[in-house]
Protein backbone atom coordinates (compact mmCIF):
# COMPACT_ATOMS: atom_id res chain seq x y z
CA UNK A 1 0.00 0.00 0.00
CA UNK A 2 1.08 3.54 -0.76
CA UNK A 3 3.30 5.40 1.68
CA UNK A 4 4.19 9.09 1.69
CA UNK A 5 7.29 10.62 3.28
CA UNK A 6 7.64 14.39 3.64
CA UNK A 7 11.03 15.59 4.85
CA UNK A 8 12.07 19.13 5.81
CA UNK A 9 9.59 20.67 3.39
CA UNK A 10 9.67 24.46 3.25
CA UNK A 11 7.94 26.85 0.89
CA UNK A 12 8.46 30.57 0.31
CA UNK A 13 6.08 32.63 -1.82
CA UNK A 14 6.88 36.25 -2.69
CA UNK A 15 9.54 36.40 0.03
CA UNK A 16 7.04 35.14 2.62
CA UNK A 17 7.83 31.87 4.38
CA UNK A 18 4.59 29.83 4.26
CA UNK A 19 5.88 26.41 5.37
CA UNK A 20 8.93 25.73 7.51
CA UNK A 21 10.65 22.34 7.90
CA UNK A 22 7.54 20.15 7.62
CA UNK A 23 8.23 16.44 8.14
CA UNK A 24 5.80 13.55 8.50
CA UNK A 25 5.04 10.05 7.23
CA UNK A 26 1.66 8.70 6.19
CA UNK A 27 0.72 5.24 5.00
CA UNK A 28 -2.46 3.77 3.52
CA UNK A 29 -5.09 3.00 4.57
CA UNK A 30 -5.65 6.36 6.24
CA UNK A 31 -7.59 9.60 6.02
CA UNK A 32 -5.34 12.38 7.29
CA UNK A 33 -6.90 15.72 8.13
CA UNK A 34 -4.85 18.92 7.90
CA UNK A 35 -6.37 21.49 10.25
CA UNK A 36 -5.33 24.91 11.44
CA UNK A 37 -6.38 28.56 11.27
CA UNK A 38 -6.49 30.61 8.08
CA UNK A 39 -2.99 31.16 6.72
CA UNK A 40 -1.46 28.22 8.57
CA UNK A 41 -0.27 26.57 5.34
CA UNK A 42 -2.81 23.79 4.72
CA UNK A 43 -3.46 24.56 1.05
CA UNK A 44 0.20 25.28 0.41
CA UNK A 45 1.20 21.92 1.89
CA UNK A 46 -1.32 20.10 -0.32
CA UNK A 47 0.02 21.87 -3.42
CA UNK A 48 3.64 21.23 -2.49
CA UNK A 49 2.98 17.52 -2.06
CA UNK A 50 1.38 17.43 -5.51
CA UNK A 51 4.27 19.40 -7.01
CA UNK A 52 2.13 22.35 -8.08
CA UNK A 53 4.25 24.68 -5.95
CA UNK A 54 8.03 24.63 -5.76
CA UNK A 55 9.41 23.73 -2.36
CA UNK A 56 12.62 22.88 -0.60
CA UNK A 57 12.98 19.48 1.02
CA UNK A 58 11.76 16.10 -0.10
CA UNK A 59 8.43 14.46 -0.94
CA UNK A 60 8.59 10.77 -1.81
CA UNK A 61 5.93 8.22 -2.67
CA UNK A 62 6.78 4.58 -2.03
CA UNK A 63 10.43 5.58 -1.77
CA UNK A 64 10.52 7.50 -5.07
CA UNK A 65 11.12 11.24 -5.20
CA UNK A 66 8.02 12.90 -6.62
CA UNK A 67 10.07 15.65 -8.25
CA UNK A 68 11.92 13.05 -10.33
CA UNK A 69 8.75 11.50 -11.76
CA UNK A 70 7.22 12.58 -15.09
CA UNK A 71 4.06 14.64 -14.59
CA UNK A 72 1.86 11.97 -16.19
CA UNK A 73 3.23 9.37 -13.77
CA UNK A 74 2.46 11.70 -10.86
CA UNK A 75 -1.12 11.96 -12.17
CA UNK A 76 -1.42 8.17 -12.13
CA UNK A 77 -0.34 8.06 -8.50
CA UNK A 78 -1.85 11.27 -7.12
CA UNK A 79 -5.33 12.75 -7.58
CA UNK A 80 -5.84 16.37 -6.50
CA UNK A 81 -9.10 18.17 -5.79
CA UNK A 82 -8.66 21.95 -5.41
CA UNK A 83 -10.99 24.13 -3.39
CA UNK A 84 -13.43 26.71 -4.70
CA UNK A 85 -13.74 25.42 -8.28
CA UNK A 86 -15.19 28.10 -10.54
CA UNK A 87 -15.59 26.76 -14.04
CA UNK A 88 -17.57 28.71 -16.63
CA UNK A 89 -16.92 26.23 -19.42
CA UNK A 90 -19.66 24.52 -21.38
CA UNK A 91 -18.13 21.09 -20.73
CA UNK A 92 -20.57 18.35 -19.82
CA UNK A 93 -20.25 16.77 -16.39
CA UNK A 94 -19.59 13.35 -17.96
CA UNK A 95 -16.72 14.72 -20.07
CA UNK A 96 -15.27 16.59 -17.10
CA UNK A 97 -15.17 13.44 -14.98
CA UNK A 98 -13.80 11.44 -17.93
CA UNK A 99 -10.78 13.76 -17.91
CA UNK A 100 -9.73 11.99 -14.74
CA UNK A 101 -8.98 8.93 -16.87
CA UNK A 102 -6.48 10.85 -19.00
CA UNK A 103 -3.37 9.39 -17.30
CA UNK A 104 -4.64 5.91 -18.26
CA UNK A 105 -5.95 6.57 -21.78
CA UNK A 106 -4.24 5.24 -24.89
CA UNK A 107 -5.48 6.21 -28.36
CA UNK A 108 -9.16 5.83 -27.61
CA UNK A 109 -11.64 5.79 -24.74
CA UNK A 110 -12.34 2.25 -23.59
CA UNK A 111 -15.55 0.86 -22.15
CA UNK A 112 -13.79 0.42 -18.83
CA UNK A 113 -13.01 4.16 -18.76
CA UNK A 114 -16.68 5.00 -19.25
CA UNK A 115 -17.62 2.48 -16.55
CA UNK A 116 -15.24 4.19 -14.11
CA UNK A 117 -16.91 7.52 -14.85
CA UNK A 118 -20.38 6.10 -14.26
CA UNK A 119 -19.25 4.48 -11.01
CA UNK A 120 -17.74 7.73 -9.72
CA UNK A 121 -20.82 9.76 -10.66
CA UNK A 122 -23.04 7.28 -8.84
CA UNK A 123 -20.82 7.22 -5.76
CA UNK A 124 -21.00 11.02 -5.49
CA UNK A 125 -24.72 11.08 -6.22
CA UNK A 126 -24.41 13.24 -9.33
CA UNK A 127 -25.18 10.66 -12.03
CA UNK A 128 -28.38 12.58 -12.83
CA UNK A 129 -26.20 15.57 -13.75
CA UNK A 130 -24.06 13.66 -16.28
CA UNK A 131 -25.22 15.63 -19.30
CA UNK A 132 -25.52 19.03 -17.65
CA UNK A 133 -22.98 21.73 -18.42
CA UNK A 134 -20.55 22.30 -15.58
CA UNK A 135 -21.26 26.04 -15.53
CA UNK A 136 -24.94 25.42 -14.73
CA UNK A 137 -24.20 23.60 -11.47
CA UNK A 138 -24.25 24.95 -7.94
CA UNK A 139 -21.00 25.20 -6.00
CA UNK A 140 -21.79 22.03 -4.05
CA UNK A 141 -22.69 20.06 -7.17
CA UNK A 142 -19.52 21.22 -8.89
CA UNK A 143 -17.47 20.15 -5.86
CA UNK A 144 -18.93 16.64 -6.02
CA UNK A 145 -18.16 16.44 -9.74
CA UNK A 146 -14.51 17.35 -9.15
CA UNK A 147 -14.22 14.70 -6.45
CA UNK A 148 -15.74 12.20 -8.90
CA UNK A 149 -13.12 13.20 -11.48
CA UNK A 150 -10.36 12.54 -8.93
CA UNK A 151 -11.79 9.12 -8.13
CA UNK A 152 -11.72 8.06 -11.79
CA UNK A 153 -7.94 8.50 -11.77
CA UNK A 154 -7.73 5.41 -9.59
CA UNK A 155 -4.78 6.98 -7.80
CA UNK A 156 -3.61 5.49 -4.49
CA UNK A 157 -3.03 8.99 -3.04
CA UNK A 158 -5.87 11.51 -2.86
CA UNK A 159 -5.16 15.16 -2.03
CA UNK A 160 -8.26 17.21 -1.24
CA UNK A 161 -8.33 20.90 -0.41
CA UNK A 162 -11.42 21.63 1.68
CA UNK A 163 -13.67 19.21 -0.23
CA UNK A 164 -16.73 20.04 1.92
CA UNK A 165 -16.43 23.84 1.87
CA UNK A 166 -19.35 24.31 -0.55
CA UNK A 167 -21.54 21.53 0.85
CA UNK A 168 -24.41 21.65 3.31
CA UNK A 169 -24.24 19.49 6.45
CA UNK A 170 -25.88 16.37 5.03
CA UNK A 171 -23.85 16.41 1.82
CA UNK A 172 -20.67 17.15 3.74
CA UNK A 173 -21.22 14.13 5.99
CA UNK A 174 -22.00 11.91 3.00
CA UNK A 175 -18.86 13.03 1.14
CA UNK A 176 -16.67 12.65 4.23
CA UNK A 177 -18.08 9.16 4.79
CA UNK A 178 -17.36 8.27 1.17
CA UNK A 179 -13.78 9.56 1.32
CA UNK A 180 -13.16 7.63 4.53
CA UNK A 181 -14.49 4.42 2.96
CA UNK A 182 -12.35 4.94 -0.14
CA UNK A 183 -9.30 5.38 2.09
CA UNK A 184 -9.86 2.82 4.83
CA UNK A 185 -11.84 0.13 2.99
CA UNK A 186 -10.13 0.39 -0.41
CA UNK A 187 -6.61 0.86 0.94
CA UNK A 188 -5.89 4.40 -0.25
CA UNK A 189 -4.18 7.30 1.45
CA UNK A 190 -6.27 10.48 1.52
CA UNK A 191 -4.93 13.77 2.83
CA UNK A 192 -7.34 16.66 3.11
CA UNK A 193 -7.30 20.24 4.31
CA UNK A 194 -10.43 20.86 6.34
CA UNK A 195 -11.75 23.68 8.52
CA UNK A 196 -14.60 21.87 10.27
CA UNK A 197 -12.95 20.33 13.32
CA UNK A 198 -15.93 18.16 14.24
CA UNK A 199 -16.12 16.65 10.74
CA UNK A 200 -12.37 16.02 10.92
CA UNK A 201 -12.70 14.41 14.36
CA UNK A 202 -15.55 12.17 13.21
CA UNK A 203 -14.10 10.89 9.93
CA UNK A 204 -10.30 11.29 9.91
CA UNK A 205 -8.05 8.52 11.21
CA UNK A 206 -5.24 10.99 11.89
CA UNK A 207 -4.96 14.74 12.38
CA UNK A 208 -2.05 17.07 11.60
CA UNK A 209 -2.41 20.51 13.18
CA UNK A 210 -0.64 23.36 11.41
CA UNK A 211 0.02 26.80 12.79
CA UNK A 212 2.14 29.51 11.17
CA UNK A 213 3.62 27.00 8.72
CA UNK A 214 4.72 24.38 11.25
CA UNK A 215 3.28 21.18 12.67
CA UNK A 216 2.25 21.71 16.29
CA UNK A 217 0.37 18.46 16.94
CA UNK A 218 -0.20 15.14 15.22
CA UNK A 219 -2.03 11.93 16.05
CA UNK A 220 -5.50 10.38 16.37
CA UNK A 221 -8.32 12.92 16.77
CA UNK A 222 -8.92 12.00 20.42
CA UNK A 223 -5.27 12.72 21.25
CA UNK A 224 -4.92 15.91 19.21
CA UNK A 225 -8.15 17.77 19.87
CA UNK A 226 -7.63 18.99 23.41
CA UNK A 227 -8.57 22.32 25.04
CA UNK A 228 -4.87 23.20 25.20
CA UNK A 229 -4.25 22.61 21.48
CA UNK A 230 -7.46 24.41 20.46
CA UNK A 231 -6.56 27.33 22.69
CA UNK A 232 -2.96 27.64 21.50
CA UNK A 233 -3.68 27.24 17.81
CA UNK A 234 -7.05 28.95 17.38
CA UNK A 235 -7.05 31.34 20.34
CA UNK A 236 -10.39 29.96 21.48
CA UNK A 237 -11.47 28.45 24.78
CA UNK A 238 -13.25 25.16 24.13
CA UNK A 239 -14.77 22.16 25.84
CA UNK A 240 -14.08 18.70 24.41
CA UNK A 241 -16.73 16.05 24.95
CA UNK A 242 -15.73 12.46 24.21
CA UNK A 243 -18.36 10.13 22.76
CA UNK A 244 -16.83 6.74 22.19
CA UNK A 245 -13.61 7.39 20.29
CA UNK A 246 -14.87 10.63 18.75
CA UNK A 247 -14.09 13.97 20.39
CA UNK A 248 -16.63 16.75 19.88
CA UNK A 249 -15.35 20.31 20.07
CA UNK A 250 -17.56 22.99 21.59
CA UNK A 251 -16.00 26.46 21.22
CA UNK A 252 -16.90 28.78 24.09
CA UNK A 253 -15.34 32.16 23.41
CA UNK A 254 -12.32 33.72 21.70
CA UNK A 255 -9.41 34.59 23.92
CA UNK A 256 -8.26 38.15 24.21
CA UNK A 257 -5.63 38.99 21.61
CA UNK A 258 -2.17 39.64 23.01
The per-type count for the chain, helices as H runs and strands as E runs, is 9, 12
Domain spans, the chain: 3-254
d(CA 255, CA 204): 27
* Chain centroid offset of residue 201 CA: 15
What's the full length of the chain, in residues? 258
CB atoms within 10 A of CB 177: 12
Per residue in 133-172, pLDDT tens? 988 988 888 888 988 998 888 889 999 999 988 889 998 9
d(CA 141, CA 138): 5
d(CA 205, CA 246): 10
Interacting residues of 93 by C-beta distance below 8 A, sequence separation 6+: 121, 126, 129, 130, 131, 132, 133, 134, 137, 145
Query: Is the model's pLDDT at 8 over the cut of 90?
Result: yes
168 pairs with which residues across the strands? none
What mean pLDDT is predicted for residues 80-91? Answer: 75
From edge to edge, which strands make up the β-sheet containing 16-27? 16-27, 3-13, 56-61, 64-65
More confident residue, 191 or 138: 191
Exposed / middle / buried, residue 44 (Cβ in 10 Å: 0-12, 13-18, 19+): buried
Highest mean pLDDT among 20-24, 85-89, 93-97, 138-142: 20-24
For the entire predicted model, the pTM comes to 0.91
Average pLDDT, the chain: 91
Q: Does domain 3-254 have CATH number 3.30.379.10?
A: no
Query: Is the model's pLDDT at 130 over the cut of 90?
Result: yes
- Contact criterion met (CB below 8 Å) for 206 and 35: no
Amino acid sequence: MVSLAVRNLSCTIRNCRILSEISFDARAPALVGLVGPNGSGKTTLIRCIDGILWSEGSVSLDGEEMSALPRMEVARRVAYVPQGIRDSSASLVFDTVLMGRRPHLSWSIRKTDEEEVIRALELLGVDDLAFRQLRTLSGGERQRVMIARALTQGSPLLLLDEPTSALDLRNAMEVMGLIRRLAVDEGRLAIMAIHDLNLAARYCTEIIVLCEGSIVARGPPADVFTPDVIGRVYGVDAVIEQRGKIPYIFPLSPRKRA
